[in-house]
Structure 1
Amino acid sequence: MAWLPELKCWQIDVPALSETDDEQEQADSKHYYTRITIAAAENLFGRHTRTFLARDTMPMCVADTEAKYCKFVVKDSWVEATVSPGEDVRDEIGHLHKIRGKLRDHRDIEGSYPIIVAGGRVQFNRSDCEGVVEDTTASTLGDVFPNVATPVDNSSGGNSGSKNEDPRPVPFRVHKRVATTPVGKLLRYLDCPLKFAKVMADAMRAHYKIRWYADILHRDISSNILFYETDDGDVHGLLIDFDHAIDLSVPKTTRHLDRSGTLPFMSINNLAGNVEWVTGLDDWESAL
């Protein structure tokens, strides 16, 4: 990530993806350019996620970085994960890649969910010129990390968190970046109840197909659903934020092992911490 003073914008490198449908294969990286921050990560605690509105071609002047020229959302985050990417069952990038492949032919919901165009774990060159290393809390803290690390619970695809009384405070986090399209607006900018109903219908239709055709359950239905307008003035819903999603085809991920989602919209089972099967009904309860 580098600042370009002559253009007054950031250049963000996002790991590129291969074109295979079911497997992630990190290639080089793609450049994105932005000066518009949608969400900042300025606090010590919280989601540790920054989001930018970006374009994928080099701007010719400062005006070229205005919002109307930005067709992509870039999410830069430090998320709890497993050390091995193959065991990272809560990986949003992996979910989006699977969704893109499984729903490629479902034109009726095209534009109702984010299409991943790049994404992966961030890497940097080693100072000793011996290859690259992933940007993680372990690589940042080095030999100190084993003494302060929170034990990892692979059964839930992340760290044991509140279920473990171990006082060691630092979870294993991985630096990830992902770029998606289309770009949407917040629901509060809708000015018509009928449009709101259509947006919600679009989002939940996408939710249904993603659940049944890709085996991905969202688990965070809230007011963060977005909408966008087409040139003819029609509105469409956009289901975003798959960072709490789980892959139901993976064993041991279908129970409420933790509270997930946005507090005012959580299902009763989720709030109560009941160890019940996670189903699409939890998300429909959140939507209602």
Structure 2
Amino acid sequence: MEATAPASKEASVEQHAFRIDVCGQQYSLPSDQPNPAVLDSQLRQLMLPSSPALCGMAVDVGPLVADAVEAHVESVMASARRRSVAGRRRSMRKRASLMTTAAMAERQRLAESLVELCDPAQTADSPLTTICDVFALLAAELRDALRDTAESSTAAVVRQIGRVFGAAAAETSKRRSSADAVVEFVAVPQRLDADSDSGADAPAAPDAHSDIGAADALVGLYTTRADAAQPFSTGLAEYLIAGMNRHARDRPNVRHAWALVLTPGAARWCLMESDAIHVTAETNLNTRDGRRALVETFVSLALCESWRLGADPSMRWRPDIGRWAVECPTDACDPLADCTGRQHRRRSARLAPLPLTLYVQPTPLFVADSFFGRFTRCFVAARTPTGECDLVLKDSWQLVPDKEHPDDEIAVLDRIRERMDAAQSTAVYPRLLCGGTVRVASTRDTSLLVLDDVDAYTRWTVPHGYRKPTRAPDSGDDDGGSQKQQQATEEPRLRRVHRRMASGPIGTPLQALTSEHEVVSVLADAMRSHAEILRHAQILHRDISLNNVMAGMWALDRL
């Protein structure tokens, strides 16, 4: 009995919600796991729309779609009854036309895929077709349910942002093989109005990411491996991390993402953010309640706002010019440049400064190897839609204390610019145009905005260079001084903050130089600039590397 008890306990825990710590390349479960029931409830709350009206619509429409899907599934399971003569006569009397008959037959075929997905003997040979059929069934029933609620005042709003998901193969996947028994897929959102059943007069879907991909897509994987969906193994983390890295690399406007993990007869939803992967409890698809939970979650995600699914609303793809329109904060900005945010802040310091819109090339200069962590990306940008790209836009998620905000790169560059301008220095350095914290719906974009209450469970690491404040105990009151010192030396509460800045000019990497004379001249100019910054601004860089020393075009022209 003593030998089998731990195994039984582990098997029962594996059905619950859990969190995977991804910080520091440690794909493991920390010992301080949150309460599984509370974590699962909070994750499912995050899958509901943010708007109260849309959330109410999801609660109302979800059961209707679930009932329709369950009716098809029960009909497939009762195939012997359906083949009876009496059943055929009743069915024929119910169908009004050949079109209706074809549509019902198609729904039955799609429902067979859902039943097949629940089969414990399902293999990884052709799961992608099965998954695509399941998404097609859910999308078709959702369209019908929303048409039935067309008279509702909320329906017009729903159809403006409502979406259906269509699964497709992850073409960039390198793990999609029969040997791994894992198939990666992505559920790409499509607007409801773009469906052919909506009529010829329906407006075309605004495909804002037609060339780059949708940031509000669902990352997914199907596996028959027993360890890949278990929390106490690295299988699930490895595949999710690899899939998330590919998803974010091709989509510049990704803040976080939702994933669906399917195994024969079971499903889990995952929230992937900068430092952890939060996984819901296992849903048993062989039960009626489990299938209803899957359908209702699909409806909730279909009615969610795009930023709720992980898309950055401050980045919009402009197909007419082939660039991204990116809002850069103006918390700190160049007073000599035309930054409307600075003027707005002077008029009313209580209001958030207006962002400055820059136009970014789709191909990045630099993308971090992994989404998890800072996920730094750099792009070339222009001040006007068709202007010359003479700026570098840097976007990253920085880990900072919750209450204290130490000087980051934006604050340092702002101080350097002010003091170098005051000294009328001619040194060349990255001149900050504007920068600050990205805002979503006038709210600072932090991990709390993404995770809500789940943010309390994420175990953060102390950022590089951060030193905890220390205070000597008060000699007059030993007990009070000890208590103050204990509070001062406690680990800080850390949070990811979405920071973005634009600076210029654009430099050329040292690796692109063609002669030793060019390299020596550029390094000499860099040394002079660093000396000027140290003399006038009392700031020393202290991180000299190949990536941090760039050659300006003006320097190359002098050679």
TM-score, normalised by the number of residues in structure 2: 0.34
The answer on whether the counterparts of 2:431 and 2:503 sit within 8 Å (CA) in structure 1 is yes
Which of 313, 323, 328 is matched with 1:14 structurally? 328
Q: Secondary structure at the match of 1:216?
A: coil
Q: Secondary structure at the match of 1:218?
A: coil
Cα distance change on mapping 1:149 and 1:143 into 2, 3 Å? same
Distance 1:5 1:196 in 2: 39
Q: Which residue of 2 aligns with 1:221?
A: 544
Distance 2:505 2:534 in 1: 20
The answer on whether the counterparts of 1:14 and 1:31 sit within 8 Å (CA) in structure 2 is yes
Which of 438, 443, 467 is matched with 1:122 structurally? 438
Which stretch shifts more, 2-11 or 94-103? 2-11
Q: Secondary structure at the match of 1:74?
A: strand
Which of 364, 370, 377 is matched with 1:37 structurally? 364
Cα distance change on mapping 1:19 and 1:229 into 2, 3 Å? closer
Q: CA deviation at 1:209?
A: 2.1
Q: CA deviation at 1:72?
A: 0.4
The answer on whether the counterparts of 1:120 and 1:177 sit within 8 Å (CA) in structure 2 is yes
Cα root mean square deviation, aligned:
3.0
Q: Does 1:93 align with 2:407?
A: no
Q: CA deviation at 1:151?
A: 6.6
Q: CA deviation at 1:106?
A: 3.8
Q: CA deviation at 1:226?
A: 0.5
Supply the AA of the counterpart residue of 1:140. Answer: V
Distance 2:461 2:376 in 1: 22
Cα distance change on mapping 1:134 and 1:157 into 2, 3 Å? farther
Distance 2:413 2:494 in 1: 24
Which of 451, 455, 460 is matched with 1:145 structurally? 455
Q: Which residue of 1 aligns with 2:426?
A: 108
Q: Which residue of 2 aligns with 1:56?
A: 383
Q: Does 1:73 align with 2:414?
A: no
Which of 182, 191, 215 is matched with 2:505 structurally? 182
Supply the AA of the counterpart residue of 1:135. Answer: D
Q: Which residue of 2 aligns with 1:205?
A: 528
Q: CA deviation at 1:20?
A: 6.6
Q: Which residue of 2 aligns with 1:27?
A: 353
Supply the AA of the counterpart residue of 1:10. Answer: W
Q: Which residue of 1 aligns with 2:318?
A: 4
Supply the AA of the counterpart residue of 1:29. Answer: P
Cα distance change on mapping 1:153 and 1:31 into 2, 3 Å? closer
Q: Secondary structure at the match of 1:94?
A: helix
How big is each residue's C-alpha offset from its partner over 1:114-146, in whole Å with a ceiling of 9 and x where there is no partner?
A: 000110001111xxxxxx221111221111112
The answer on whether the counterparts of 1:15 and 1:122 sit within 8 Å (CA) in structure 2 is yes
How big is each residue's C-alpha offset from its partner over 1:79-111, in whole Å with a ceiling of 9 and x where there is no partner?
A: 112334xx43241000000000001134331xx
Cα distance change on mapping 1:88 and 1:211 into 2, 3 Å? farther
Distance 1:231 1:207 in 2: 16
Q: Choose between structure 1 and 2: higher strand proportion.
A: 1
Q: CA deviation at 1:153?
A: 7.5
Q: Percentage identity across aligned positions?
A: 32
Q: CA deviation at 1:77?
A: 0.7
The answer on whether the counterparts of 2:325 and 2:358 sit within 8 Å (CA) in structure 1 is yes
Cα distance change on mapping 1:154 and 1:143 into 2, 3 Å? farther
Equivalent pairs, count: 206
Q: CA deviation at 1:227?
A: 0.3
Supply the AA of the counterpart residue of 2:406. Answer: V
Distance 1:214 1:232 in 2: 27
Cα distance change on mapping 1:193 and 1:106 into 2, 3 Å? farther
Distance 1:39 1:153 in 2: 22
Q: Secondary structure at the match of 1:175?
A: strand
Which stretch shifts more, 2-11 or 75-84? 75-84
Q: CA deviation at 1:45?
A: 3.6
Supply the AA of the counterpart residue of 1:203. Answer: A
Supply the AA of the counterpart residue of 2:527. Answer: M
The answer on whether the counterparts of 1:34 and 1:55 sit within 8 Å (CA) in structure 2 is yes
Distance 1:150 1:42 in 2: 20
Distance 1:12 1:185 in 2: 23
The answer on whether the counterparts of 1:14 and 1:120 sit within 8 Å (CA) in structure 2 is yes
Distance 1:231 1:187 in 2: 12
Distance 1:233 1:142 in 2: 52
Distance 2:378 2:556 in 1: 28
Runs of 4+ residues over 4 Å off in structure 1: 18-21, 151-155
Q: Secondary structure at the match of 1:210?
A: helix
Q: Choose between structure 1 and 2: higher helix proportion.
A: 2
Q: CA deviation at 1:43?
A: 1.8
Distance 2:501 2:449 in 1: 21
When Rg is computed on C-alpha atoms for both structures, the one with the higher figure is 2
Q: Secondary structure at the match of 1:97?
A: helix
Cα distance change on mapping 1:209 and 1:82 into 2, 3 Å? farther
TM-score, normalised by the number of residues in structure 1: 0.63
Cα distance change on mapping 1:155 and 1:192 into 2, 3 Å? closer
Q: CA deviation at 1:5?
A: 1.4
The answer on whether the counterparts of 2:333 and 2:433 sit within 8 Å (CA) in structure 1 is no
Distance 2:366 2:376 in 1: 7
How big is each residue's C-alpha offset from its partner over 1:189-242, in whole Å with a ceiling of 9 and x where there is no partner?
A: 11121221111111122222222321222121001210022398226xxxxxxx
Distance 2:500 2:517 in 1: 35
Supply the AA of the counterpart residue of 2:384. Answer: T
Unaligned runs of 5+ in 2: 1-314, 337-341, 346-351, 469-490
